[in-house]
Amino acid sequence: MMSKVSVAFALKEEFAPWRRRHRFRPVSLFPHPFSVASFGSTEVYVSLAGAGARDAHHVHDLLTRFTPSLGIVTGVAAGLKPEWRPGDLLVAQSVSDPGGAKIEAAPNLIDLAVQSGAKPAPTLITLPRIARTTAEKLRLASLGDAADMESMPLMKQWSDRGIPALALRVILDPVEMPMTCDFEAAMDAHGQVRFAKILAQLARRPQLLPDFLRLAKQSRRSLRILARFLDRFFERLDRKNSGY
């Protein structure tokens, strides 16, 4: 019997390296774009939630049509503590928000992620906006190990339905690295980055170009690491589900 897993990325660029490694096919029976691929007896449905989970209803639409055995939110995160370096793959033991709400991940899924090469991080905090400065990241370090903008609302959707969920994040920018480009200003209504707007920022402020190129290089490397990790994770998950 095929098991179904819901996987959510924020940005299409985060999904792209993993998509290129497999034959993900579009799913036309839903009103929103989804991609699906099989990993042995596991069927993986990928949706794009947008930065800040602006399109979180895409994930909800999947839940109204089938009940996955597992929900995973993944993509990049900002490191808030100096031990987390670009390319480190973290599995969050818990996800929280600045208001104090918290969701714990299932211990057996954390163990599976660690066996696949992830590093356990006690807390991943979901913020309403990008932490752009080093000073802000240092201030947030008391609240979590790394920060993103989507994990909490997506984990809550799965948790509310009794579906085990996991947040798997690869570090993009470490604590000492500021985000000099304004990526939020470059996003469309669906939380997707429009690079024409980034290029416009660089044209106005060419001094930002070295930082942007450095970030782009780190992003390519980190997302390749994430894609390879997801392969290992789903290989182990399929073996576990198959009883091997």
Average pLDDT, consecutive stretches of 10 residues, N- to C-terminus, the chain (244 residues):
88 97 83 87 94 90 86 97 97 95 94 97 96 94 96 95 96 95 93 94 95 96 98 93 66
Does residue 227 fall inside a structural domain? yes
- Reference 237, options 107, 115, 151, 75; nearest CA is 115
pTM, entire model: 0.94
Sign for the pseudo-dihedral over CA of 55, 14, 118, 96: negative
**Within 13 Å, how many C-alpha atoms sit on residue 55's CB side?**
23
Does residue 199 fall inside a structural domain? no
- First-to-last alpha carbon distance for the chain, in angstroms, is 15
What is the enclosing helix (H) or strand (E) of 153?
helix 151-160
How far is 137 from 150, CA to CA, in rounded Å?
A: 17
Does residue 138 fall inside a structural domain? yes
| 28 burial via Cβ count (<10 Å: 0-12, 13-18, 19+) | exposed
Domain with 235 in it? 3-178+217-242
Q: Please give the pLDDT value at position 195.
A: 92
- DSSP codes, 175-214: TT----S-TGGGB-TTS-B-HHHHHHHHHH-GGGHHHHHH
Does residue 210 fall inside a structural domain? no
Domains identified in the chain, total number: 1
Please give the single-letter amino acid code of residue 131.
Answer: A
Q: Which residues contact 171 (CB under 8 A, 6 or more apart)?
A: 76, 77, 78, 79, 84, 85, 86, 87, 88, 90, 146, 222
Does residue 189 fall inside a structural domain? no
Sign for the pseudo-dihedral over CA of 53, 110, 18, 177: positive
Q: Please give the pLDDT value at position 61.
A: 83
How far is 200 from 132, CA to CA, in rounded Å?
A: 19
Does residue 48 fall inside a structural domain? yes
Q: Please give the pLDDT value at position 8.
A: 97
Does residue 207 fall inside a structural domain? no
Does residue 194 fall inside a structural domain? no
Q: Please give the pLDDT value at position 180.
A: 93
What is the enclosing helix (H) or strand (E) of 6?
strand 3-9
Q: What is the CATH number of the domain that holds 163?
A: 3.40.50.1580
